[in-house]
Structure 1
Amino acid sequence: MQLSSKLNNPATRNNIKSTTIYSLSPRFYATNLILLAIFGLLFLLWSRHESLDIALSQRWFDPLTQRFPLQHNRWLDLINHRLVKDAIIAGAVLLLLSGLRQRNGRRVLVALLFGLGPLVVGLLKAHSAHSCPWDLALFGGKAASFVLLDAVPANSGPGQCFPGGHASSGFALMALFFLWWPEHPRRALLALLIGMLTGLLMGYGQVMRGAHFFSHNLWAGWWVWLSQVLIFAGVSFWMNTMRKRDGSH
């Protein structure tokens, strides 16, 4: 693990860089967990005071027709809801196949992170009692709205709308951070930023359609990144423990 950390840095020549799954420093994980805790508290405050969510969604709601005019918009549905998501999935599959062909464990793991983050969000969403804005009485539907951590009302509606499942596909791009860190830190940080922006843009497209509140997307990004950090930490720790054990025999 120490040797891998020394090999993999911006000054290391390409021909001797290690492509193994190596453990990142305790400081890296501590920093991420602290930031996740801080943002988790901020997102909780946002969700507990739903006025910001409602204000953002009302911009795209027509009170005269009692509907979201862009709910069935062709371009939002085709480009944002389908093509971008399909492109990300295709890229993850290509990365996985490339990793398997080259026997590059890090590429395989990063490709799996693309799917595991959204999978966690999907599981949470499937068991959520929060309904989408277009189902709420506030926006022409019939379901009752309630803030995060409050008791679920009897007429909560169909639910299954928290966190934002679609946005998680965009946030999945943050997995590329682990492909390039620490050999290419600028590229890794750029990938992280692009993943954040893609998730937020895809999520806001759903806000425009009435499919999600904006906080749903913020939580999606939070859960995706938490999942990616913990899974990478667990797998890298296990792989390096096994490597040490094999080397000692």
Structure 2
Amino acid sequence: MRFSLLSAAMVAGCFMASPLFAQQEEVKLPPQATEFYTPVVKKVTPGKENHLPPADAIVLFDGSNLNAWVSDRPGSSPAPWKVENGTFTVVPRTGGIRSKESFGDVQVHIEWSAPTVIKGTGQGRGNSGFFFMGKYELQILDSYDNETYTNGMAASIYKQHPPLVNAMRAPGEWNTYDAIFKAPRFDSNGMLVSPATITVIHNGVLVQNNVELKGPTLYIGIPHYEAHEAALPFHIQDHGDEVKFRNIWVRKLD
């Protein structure tokens, strides 16, 4: 019995002494050991108000003209939409507009307002769309007391992801979109390496939380990726409604 107890104690002592079972001693480091000072973070002066562009933003509309945009129709003629009182308005049936500059990964700020005169229902009411890279649509629609399919309402990634909530303001009031878009990546053979992702805040409310896009926007059919350039222009849609826009700016993240 004495031998058994002694043996058991020795075995237990071996296990306790083993590195697998021993409690690691706390490594005492000075706080400076986990601090770093390089690379130095770039300084950017924010806008004085949330809707104003920060210092490193590219302003695509400042209320004065549409010089940063052209018609989306062949020929790249000047953007045909109406500019007045610091805003621009879709002129129905003139076609969409696209940015002169191309973009990949971006932070974008857009302000838009649905028409005060309510016409139509569903997709026929205050409809437009902001297309990242001319391919991936963040839906613009009057979704204030207006029923439609949920992946086609305001702040949806059209025909893919409905918004988490409906944060729409009443017609005539200004809505804001703040979006972080990461472009898709393709390898040298044109195969998809990583899909596009987007986060969207609508009127201060998170509505798209880093969702993966299934491919470019399609009205009919299942979206799928095809290789394209790393940077492409934005597109704003003419869907036949007099939607207004103001204060559009972008920060390149790539």
Shared fold (TM-score greater than 0.5)?
no
TM-score, structure 2 normalization: 0.24
Between Structure 1 and Structure 2, the one with more strand by share is 2
**Structure whose alpha-carbon radius of gyration is higher:** 2
TM-score by length of 1: 0.25
